[in-house]
Amino acid sequence: MSLFRRKDVSALQAEVASDHSLKRVLGPVNLVLLGIGAVIGAGIFVLTGQAAANYSGPAIVYSFLLAGTACAFAGLCYAEFAAMIPIAGSAYTYGYATLGELFAWIIGWDLILEYLFAASTVAVGWSGYMVSFLKDFGINIPVAYTSAPYTHT
């Protein structure tokens, strides 16, 4: 048993033909909206004004252009992978077919950690919005409940 064994595209396509495969249920609109939501995230709404006002000023546009270019290149890489291996399964499947089982395992767990941290970051951003919203109505929530763990005194 090799950690670097790869699965042929023909074997992957045979799995798709069986009843135990992932079904394609997302349409073009779903995929575009999911992609935009994953790329933009909540950070653009939470930190953009603070970064522009306190640190960079109008030069923040350049950082957005650089980040947008990097995201476009990543999207083009995913498009090339999807054209090369037209099977549901995302980066794990692409890694399994091209790099091997060990790298696919690493990619899969990396994606799980990425989604976990992205969800927690979005939760922190939205909780900040909610605390600010409630403060406008005179509802104050104790700092122990609104700050990150082990940061309140």
Q: pLDDT by residue for the chain (153 residues), tens digit each? A: 677 777 777 777 666 666 666 677 888 898 888 877 766 666 666 677 777 888 888 888 898 899 889 989 988 988 888 888 877 778 888 888 888 889 989 999 998 998 888 777 777 777 888 888 899 999 998 888 887 777 765
Q: Are residues 105 and 148 in the same domain?
A: yes
Domain containing residue 34 = 25-84
> Which pTM was predicted?
0.62
Position 1 in a domain? no
d(CA 100, CA 43): 34
Q: Are residues 104 and 150 in the same domain?
A: yes
- Show which of 37, 55, 84 is a domain's final residue: 84
Q: Are residues 118 and 153 in the same domain?
A: yes
Domain count along the chain: 2
- Show which of 84, 104, 125 is a domain's final residue: 84
In one-letter notation, the amino acid at residue 93 is: T
Q: Which residue has the tokens 């670097």?
A: 4
Q: Are residues 92 and 133 in the same domain?
A: yes
- Show which of 63, 84, 105 is a domain's final residue: 84
Q: Are residues 132 and 92 in the same domain?
A: yes
Q: Are residues 150 and 92 in the same domain?
A: yes
Position 59 in a domain? yes
Nearest to 109 by CA among 131, 121, 91: 91
Rounding to the nearest 10 degrees, give the CA dihedral for residues 78, 84, 85, 86. Answer: 80
Q: Are residues 106 and 94 in the same domain?
A: yes
- Which residues, including other chains, have CB under 8 Å from residue 123's CB and lie 6 or more apart? none
Q: Which two tokens stand for residue 153?
A: 């005194």
Position 14 in a domain? no
Listed in sequence order, the DSSP H helices in the chain are 9-17, 28-40, 43-51, 60-84, 90-98, 101-136, 143-146
CB 7 within 8 A of CB 98: no
Q: Are residues 135 and 147 in the same domain?
A: yes
CB 48 within 8 A of CB 60: yes
Position 108 in a domain? yes
